[in-house]
Structure 1
């Protein structure tokens, strides 16, 4: 297992120098950007190229692409998925994970019946799963607290959504920030840890680990007891990434039973 940090890909060398095992790159605005054609997106030319392949990605879908709205043409969503995932594949390691959180994009809103919005999002999730799989990548579904979206707030709800829509081959992200804000019991996280494919961690209200009082050790212990053996990515608000990251990584590694063993 490894411990990394979410940041734009141009900060990869900085993150590695500060002790991270990897950088989890953002996608929107980093790997893809709006093109001159209205509503379209195109890859960003990276200079310099990444120092090493990227194992995971976040911030996948722009907020104005309403993927839970059946009135948005699937062709537009498919075109974005292919552009974004091609850009990801160009810098990714084989089997890299791509977090599908994107709360604004997946919000159903009051103008769409909830059942129709959920059905459309399930269709979109399958589209992204299949397009990612064709590129040797994996989509993982992230529950987000209700302040960010009206669809799928907890690890438990994510499992229920996947089962209700018969979606196979999609694992779940366990993110301590959303777990804390939703007051999801860590016992439930442990129970479902076998379905977790990726983990995010932060301290109180997204400050770097070690600067708050959230249960870092209890969260990681619940995941490890439940059988999760994967990576843990820091997703935080940074005042100075280079200065704060070494201590934050040390706090997570000290709290992680898998690292201590």
Structure 2
């Protein structure tokens, strides 16, 4: 089991010193296609020179890339992702988090069945290029205040099973799981699809900074044989002290869940 932190590459030393295994970064400001070539090359050098690997990337699509609705340009959307996959593979990133709530939100009044087909077609179009580059997408269920697609573990898992390719898997996020879904049975039934996870306090705090029992959540994963990666995704500033407390909190919870 690997524990990591979703944060800027500039915090790599703090994360490494706290005993974490890897970093998860965000496309914006790091590898996004809006970044000039020279800046992207400099970011790539920083990633490769970091004291621990960057294994995952989130926020992979800007809001300007719209996957559902009228006027969707599938060819352009697939081309965008293929170029992002090239950058991710060059940086050694192996998991891309398919969260991107604005890109996948169905516009008001648009046919949800048509939108579902658009999303499926898009995911089918990008899974092959991901596999060719040794990268895997993980679909992230987001609570219903964020988006109106893939808002439950069950719906997200159903899409993963339908695509049925090694390059498409499932993510569970502790915060979203408790926010609206909290479907323990769906998590248990679909834990075999999990290849990545996110963790925080129930209001997006850094673990260890507030009281929060992670053991029941982690027990479900452990009983399913989960042995992949778990990134902190929190909104609070990272410091040397809270990073160390977070690492100890997660390790202790994981051990207690065994």
Query: What's 1:61 paired with?
Result: 61
- Give the Å deviation of 1:77: 0.3
- Per-residue deviation, residues 139-188 of structure 1 (Å, max 9, x unmatched): 1111111111100112112122344xx31122110111110011323233
Instruction: Name the CA distance, whole Å, in 2 between partners of 1:63 and 1:73.
Output: 14
TM-score between both structures, scaled by the size of structure 1: 0.88
Judge conservation of contact 2:69–2:115 (CA < 8 Å) in 1: yes
Structure 1, unmatched stretches of 5+, are none
Q: Where does the alignment leave 5 or more consecutive residues of structure 2 unmatched?
A: none
Within-5 A mapping of 1:88-237: 88-92=88-92, 96-163=94-161, 166-169=162-165, 170-237=168-235
* Counterpart in the other structure of 1:49: 46
Please say if residues 4 and 21 of structure 1, whose CA atoms lie closer than 8 Å, have aligned partners that are also in contact: yes
Structure 1 SS opposite 2:66: coil
Query: Cα deviations across residues 60-84 of structure 1 (Å, max 9, x unaligned)?
Result: 1112211123522112102210221
May I ask how many residue pairs the two structures share in their alignment?
A: 252
Alpha-carbon distance in 1 for matches of 2:70, 2:160: 19
Q: For the aligned residues, what is the CA RMSD?
A: 2.2
TM (normalized to structure 2)? 0.89
Q: Is contact 1:128–1:139 with CA below 8 Å preserved after alignment?
A: no
User: Which ranges of 4 or more aligned residues in structure 1 deviate by more than 4 Å?
Assistant: none
Distance (Å, rounded) in 2 between the aligned partners of 1:122 and 1:203? 32
Is 1:251 aligned to residue 242 of structure 2?
no
How far residue 6 of structure 1 moved from its aligned partner, in angstroms, is 0.5
Asked if the contact 2:171/2:197 (under 8 Å) is kept, the reply is yes
3-state DSSP class of the match of 2:151? coil
